Amino acid sequence: MPQLKRILLVEDDPNDVELIIAALSENDLNNKVVTIHDGEEALDYLNYRGKFAGRTDGYPAVVLLDLKLPRVSGLEVLRQMKADEKLMYLPVVIFTSSKEDKDIVLGYKLGANSYVVKPIDFHAFIDVIKLIGAYWAIVSEPPPIEMCRPR
């Protein structure tokens, strides 16, 4: 049986975290979801630093990234990921409430693979997460592991 692809969820709103995880499991996506609540911790996770220095689970198949995060913004997390030769190939889906053109343009300019605005309607929110999860955790093939080796 193939190993389930891991999802890194970088989201500071506990209600959104709960909804996202519920929507993924409702769609029978039993992938492991690692939840990080701020940008600095996300960078520590991805770079095997701080409390994540000893982790052995490799890189996630996709990063779901909110933009409005404490300590380090989502756009800065994205900028640092795409500037790092070990992280640049990881798919990043910006999942945020911001519909501002400047955020959308900058997100894509910095290398986001997708930009999705969080729907306000509960059912639409769930449906969008199911689509994102199904595509990135089932359909999409992540980069070969040798391109993303931990240091």
Report the pLDDT value the prediction gives residue 77, as an integer from 0 to 100. Answer: 97
Calpha distance 94→12 (Å, rounded): 14
Give me the residue spans of the domains in the chain. Answer: 35-142
Helix pair 14-26, 122-134: axis angle to 10 deg = 60
Sign of CA dihedral 126, 132, 135, 137: negative
Nearest-CA neighbor of 60 among 116, 137, 125? Answer: 137
Chain mean pLDDT for the chain: 87
35-142 maps to CATH 3.40.50.2300: yes
Report the pLDDT value the prediction gives residue 10, as an integer from 0 to 100. Answer: 97
Name which of 35-39, 41-45, 131-135 the model is least confident about. Answer: 131-135
Name which of 23-27, 38-42, 106-110 the model is least confident about. Answer: 23-27
Sign of CA dihedral 45, 87, 150, 2: positive
Q: Model confidence over 4-32: pLDDT tens digits? A: 577 899 999 999 999 888 888 776 656 68
